[in-house]
Structures are given as structure tokens and as C-alpha cells.
Amino acid sequence: MFRMISNRQIADAFDLLADLLRLKDAEGYRFEIIAYQRVAEALRELPRDVRALAAEGRLQEIDGVGKAIAAKILELLEHGTLRLLEELKAEVPQGLVDVLRVNGVGPKRAMLFYQQLGITSVAELEAAAREGKLRTLPGMGAKSEQKILESIAALARRTTRARADIALQAAERILRALQALPNVLRAEIAGSLRRGRATIGDIDLLVATHTPAPIMDAFVNHPDVVRVLAQGETKSSVELLSGLQCDLRAVPPERFGTALSYFTGSQAHNIRLRELALQRGLSLNEWAFTATDGSGREILCASEEEVYAQLDLPYIPPELREDRGEIEAAQANALPNLIEISHIRA
């Protein structure tokens, strides 16, 4: 019989597998990494016990689970471990997985730090940065070193995801300030916060404007901002008082619909929309639909309704955009009616 092992534990194993592969050779295992991460996410959302599914021989019905991953799940259920995982752990120190969580440190740098300085933990990374050792490495300088120190501090400030209600308050404060600026035609919350998720990792904001520069300026200078992570013409990123990261993108108003759709996600939902677009001879990104026939012809959408209309779909509310059947439901014109506060009476 199978061991006591939860869906979550299996998901964690696949995430670990993905991270270790990333450290070993991110490019070489690019698609395997994505595959493992997809399955990890699917397992966390799975409403059923994987063991029951496995007992029925139906593992491959899980999204993203094929023959190889099904075998790995069975291996986990039977032995509690994965041979592949153990082998990788022997090659790559597990502590490096935490180092990957530091902003600005990806697999290349994590391995560089490990091989050149023997760093295998965030604590060691912090010590090395304080001692000015990182700047001696190729491609690193005093500034990168400082950034890493700040990222480690930020990591300590927010270990868990934020509750949506807390994040919403923080988001609305910024949003109001943006809306009050001249030349801001629209400003909206995007991301998981807009999708109504219970917890969120960061705040995504979107503005429509023809003059992004002064808006980005105002954004990074908002009183709630404690640190500017990045600032560009169309995209800036800050850390707020709450420790939350907040990203702002600026797009011209005639492209606001595609942008809002894109940045609202979820990623899985976006992938499905892109597929539908491709079937219609169009590629879809945050800026527009673009004809794939080489003409470069663009179809601009100022509203999300236009985006869905272009794909012959009824409008799908953000709360449903998780690729959990909403596309099919929309195609069948059978979207569930969401319950709104106004629908509830005492």
C-alpha cells in the first residue's frame, strides 16, 4: 500500500526537483523544469488525494502528468523518495535552493557563488556580501553586492504571502495616488489580487497613459515606498512599507485591454488565451493581437471585453481565470454566475 504522503509533499518534491535542475543546468532542462513546476501547482490545487487517483491508475488525468511524471509520483508513494532527487541532492547542495529565493540571484549566480566561494546558504551569502567578497567575482560589482544584501533583508521582512485584504488596502492607497495624477487615463489593480485570490505574493498595478515617465516618477516617490527595485519607462517595481512588492506598468490607453488581461493572469489562463489566438492566426501579448501571417498587422484592445470578443468568448470575470475549466465553460456559454455582495441579503 502507499505511504502517508500528502499532495503537498509530492508537490514540494517536484518543486525541489525543478530548482535543483535549474541550478544544474537551467537551459538544458528548461522544459522539464517547467513541466515539474506545472505539476507541482496542479497537485496543490488538486481537490483529491493523489493516492486515491494512483490506486485507480488515473494519475495521467492530472494536468501535465504524463508517463514519466506518473512514474515519479508512484515512486514517491511507494518509497517516499525519488532516486533522481537524491542523485541531484548529491550533486547540488540543497541550501542553494534557498539562495535562489534571493532577488537578483538566479541559477548562474548561485552556482558561481557556490563554486567560487563555497556558499551554500543565504546566511553564508549574506556574510560574503558583507565582507565584500561578491564584488570580486566576474560580472559582479559593488552595486550588485549591495542589491543582494538588500534583497536578503527584504526576504526576511516577508516570508509568507500577504492576505488579500491587507494587500488590497496597500494597493488602493497607491492606486488612488496614481488616479489623481494628470494624464492617467485609467489605473487598475491586476494580478492575483484582481482575481480575488485569498493570498497574494505581490501587487500588480496598471495605468493607461501617453506619458509614462512622470507617472513612474510619482510611483517610486510615493510615501508608502521604502525601496525602488527597478524603474524603467514602462515598468517599475518597488517595495512598500508593508514589505510587499508592488509592480506598476504603463501602457497606452488603446492597449489597456490586452495589458490588463495579460497582467491579471493567471499564467495558465493566459496560455490558453494565447492558444485560442494562435488558432485564429493571431499571437497575443500584453501589447496587442498580432497577425501571424507576417503582415505584422495589429489588433488593439482598449478593454478586456474586446480581448475576449476577439477570441469569440464571453467576458470571463477575473475570479474565474485559473484555467480550471472556465475557458470551456465560456465556449459553451455556461459560465457560472459569481456571487456578489449585492446578491446576498440578510
Q: Which three cell numbers stand for residue 67?
A: 508517463
Q: Does 105 bind DNA (CB under 7 A)?
A: yes
| Residue 102 near DNA by CB under 7 A | yes
Would you call 311 helix, strand, or coil by DSSP?
coil
Provide the pairing of β-strand 186-190 with 202-208: antiparallel
CB of 296 to DNA, least distance (A): 11
For position 107 contacting DNA by CB under 7 A, the verdict is: yes
Identified binder of DNA from the candidate list 51, 147, 194, 321, rule CB under 7 A? 147
Interface residue with DNA, options 7, 120, 192, 245 (CB under 7 A): 245
11 belongs to the binding site for DNA (CB under 7 A): no
Asked if 303 is part of the footprint of DNA (rule: CB under 7 A), the reply reads no
Output b/e per residue, 266-281; b: 16+ Cβ within 10 A.
bebbbebbbebbeeee
Nearer Cβ to DNA, position 73 or 316?
A: 73
Among 28, 80, 81, 84, binds DNA (CB under 7 A): 84
Helix (H) or strand (E) holding 253: none
Long-range contacts of 165-173 (CB under 8 A, 24+ apart): 166/242, 167/193, 167/200, 167/203, 167/242, 167/244, 168/193, 170/203, 170/224, 170/240, 170/241, 170/242, 170/244, 170/246, 171/203, 171/205, 171/246, 173/224
Smaller CB distance to DNA: residue 186 or 235? 235
Residue 76 CB, shortest distance to DNA, in Å, is 14
- Segment contacting DNA by CB under 7 A, of 8-16, 62-70, 159-167, 252-260: 62-70
DSSP state letter for 153: H
Cα dihedral sign for 261, 267, 268, 271? positive
Interface with DNA (CB under 7 A), residue from 2, 12, 24, 32: 32
* Three-class secondary structure of residue 169 per DSSP: helix
Whole-number Cα distances in Å, 212 to 102, 137, 150, 233: 29, 36, 27, 6
**Phi, psi (5° rounding) for residue 239?**
-110, 135
- Between 261 and 280, how does the x/- string for binding to DNA read (CB under 7 A)? ----------x--x------
The region of 28-36, 88-96, 163-171, 175-183 touching DNA under the rule CB under 7 A is: 28-36
Q: Would you call 15 helix, strand, or coil by DSSP?
A: helix
Q: Is 156 in the site for DNA (CB under 7 A)?
A: no
Q: Which helix (H) or strand (E) holds 276?
A: helix 267-279
Question: Is residue 318 at the binding interface for DNA, with CB under 7 A as the rule?
Answer: no
Using CB under 7 A as the binding rule, whether residue 230 contacts DNA is answered as yes
How many of the other CB atoms lie within 10 Å of CB of 210?
10
Contact between 283 and DNA (CB under 7 A)?
Answer: yes
Task: Determine, following the binding rule CB under 7 A, whether residue 139 of this chain makes contact with DNA.
Answer: yes
Single out the residue of 5, 16, 50, 69 in contact with DNA (rule: CB under 7 A).
69
Least distance to DNA, CB of residue 33, Å: 9
Q: Using CA atoms, how far apart are residues 93 and 138, in angstroms rounded to an integer?
A: 22
Task: Work out whether 213 is an interface residue with DNA (CB under 7 A).
Answer: no
Binding site for DNA (CB under 7 A): 26, 31-32, 34-35, 39, 60, 63-70, 84, 100, 102-110, 139, 141, 143-144, 147, 202, 204, 230-237, 245, 247, 271, 274, 283, 285, 287
